[in-house]
Amino acid sequence: MKYALVTGGSRGIGRAVCIKLAQAGTPVIINYVSNDDAARQTLTEVEALGVKGELLKFDAASPEAIEQAIDKWESEHNDDYIGILVNNAGIRKDNLMIFMQNEEWNDVLNTTLNGFFYITRRLLKGMMTKRNGRIINMASLSGLKGMPGQVNYSASKAALIGATKALAQEVAPRKITVNAVAPGFIESDMTKDLNEDELKKLVPMNRFGKSEEVAALVAFLAGDESAYITGEVISINGGLYT
């Protein structure tokens, strides 16, 4: 059985992705780092769709925790494999660079960029053996355009975009696609501290996007119909930046 692993899958865009994949009939592994209640709620919503769901708790910034969690999962699923990976885990620690602390820089890059590296590297062998795989990386408008006050976040997402393009070329012969999705302002836990009334004036569609809209794009890239799309960065931002 082919599973999808969604990092940071308990809330926001990650939760919407888990539910959308489950609606397509894909068994889902919901990764999270700390919020047990939110993770269980997401799992309940996945299972309510008649699809198998599982929780896998680990910190995407910890290579040791990743190895232990995935080793354990694989030992309990001898006939299954993870064929879809959505690298969604990420954090924001906004600050002007002149005031930015080392931990604000390191924590953001460790979760978004290093987490992508640790998890993707760990799962690539199985995908290459099966000659099938879908990797979708959650980038951002910040990684394309750059955003003041987000030098750390913009750097991590821009690097993720570069990694997406490079890895796509490495693994394409094995029928593995690697794409990135770059949301703009999306209603989620990560943007709840932003001034939506003011910021939506910058968006031609005059609104924030919905997590479900991002999830629909991710689900398409995870499916069979996207088999000839790889190395792409697809923006979903209401026309804010093209």
The token duo for 138 is: 């959650």
Considering the candidates 3, 81, 153, 241, report the single residue annotated as catalytic.
153
Closest CA to 24 of 46, 1, 57, 54: 46
Residues 6 or more apart in contact with residue 206 via CB below 8 angstroms:
200, 238
How far apart CA 2 and CA 94 sit, in angstroms, is 37
Nearest to 151 by CA among 109, 106, 194, 96: 96
153 carries an active-site annotation: yes
Look up residue 54 and give its amino acid. E
Q: Please answer whether residues 111 and 129 qualify as being in contact, where contact means their C-beta atoms are separated by less than 8 angstroms.
A: no
CB atoms within 10 A of CB 124: 19
* Termini Cα distance of the chain: 39
Annotated active-site positions, please?
A: 153
